[in-house]
Amino acid sequence: MILVLGATGTTGGEVARQLIAAGVRPRLLVRNRAKANEFEGKAEIVEGDLDNPAAVTSALKGVDRVYLVSAGLNGPDLEIKFIDAAKKAGARHIVKLSVIGADEPVLTFSKWHARIEKHLKESGLQWTMLRPGNFMSNALLLWGETIRTQGAFYQPTGEGRWAAIDPADIGAVAVKALTTSGHEGKAYTLTGPESLSAAQYAGTLSAVLGKPVKFVDVPPEAAQDGMLKSGIPGEYVAAILDLMAAMRAGHTDVVTDTFEKVMGRKPTRFEDWVRRNRAAL
């Protein structure tokens, strides 16, 4: 039995959908069953949260493989507790969504995930680490509203470049690691096929959407103020600004061929992702 966490979220949803498409009936631990309507009748659904020990115990019963992902500032603590619970329940292999740079953590996000990775490696369980960079879906999550209303997006990244990856590609690697052997003890640093600046991402959006989209470089203080006003917790805002400073400084200009080596095909281009999600933008 394969247990998928975060099935109503970005990568967990991709893992669940792709497992089902491959003929696997997974078990899903979701906080809100109503948000998992698409999986009714196709997966076994357990309602509960990672901070609910009874729900975790129920979700892990008879499970041997897990896709592990969490969200929020308490995510690292919850993942560590979950790893211990999974071992106690008899799980064999955990595929963990981590982050690029967790092997040599410098940024706040990578430090958070490095702590979890260390615990998983020391647990005695088999493991596979997925270390993606920025998600293409962040264009929708972070830029979508202002693209729709102002034809622009704002962030303090200057001419910095990054190779965003399609969450569906992350899901594909996760499914392969969950359903085939040979991925145990492997850490996969995953990126998209091309490293672009924010202005180049804006150019692609303009071309595909058929309307002008511009990138506006803003001071970090303005970005911080906007994120705080939108309700993002201060500690998380600080972590995002830490990442954006690294992007601006050119530290995220990295492209790997890991996806192609694992999957035998090229990763999705940003242009194709935008075309697929055009209606939402």
pLDDT of residue 226: 85
Burial class (CB in 10 A: 0-12, 13-18, 19+), 198: buried
Cα–Cα distance measured from residue 264 to residue 39, given in angstroms and rounded to the nearest whole number = 28
pLDDT of residue 173: 98
Going from the C-alpha of 145 to that of each of 41, 118, 152, 208, 257, the distances in angstroms are 34, 37, 9, 17, 32
DSSP state of 264: S
- 3-class DSSP assignment, residue 119: helix
Going from the C-alpha of 7 to that of each of 66, 135, 180, 238, the distances in angstroms are 12, 16, 21, 27
Angle between helices 108-122 and 75-89 (to 10 degrees): 10
46 within 8 A of 30, measured Cβ to Cβ: yes
- Full DSSP string of 146-160: HHHHHSEEEES-TT-
pTM (2 d.p.): 0.95
Which superfamily does CATH assign the domain made up of 2-134+165-191+254-267 to?
NAD(P)-binding Rossmann-like Domain (3.40.50.720)
56 within 8 A of 29, measured Cβ to Cβ: yes
- Judged against a pLDDT cut of 90, whether residue 188 lies above it is answered with yes
Burial class (CB in 10 A: 0-12, 13-18, 19+), 119: middle
pLDDT of residue 65: 98
- Judged against a pLDDT cut of 90, whether residue 118 lies above it is answered with yes
pLDDT of residue 230: 83
Neighbour tally for 88: CB within 10 Å: 10
Its sign, for the CA torsion 80, 84, 86, 92, is: positive
Across the range 68-84, mean pLDDT stands at 91
pLDDT of residue 259: 98
Across the range 209-220, mean pLDDT stands at 96
Query: What digits encode the pLDDT tens for the residues 228-239?
Result: 988 889 898 999
- Judged against a pLDDT cut of 80, whether residue 93 lies above it is answered with yes
Domains of the chain: which residue ranges? 2-134+165-191+254-267
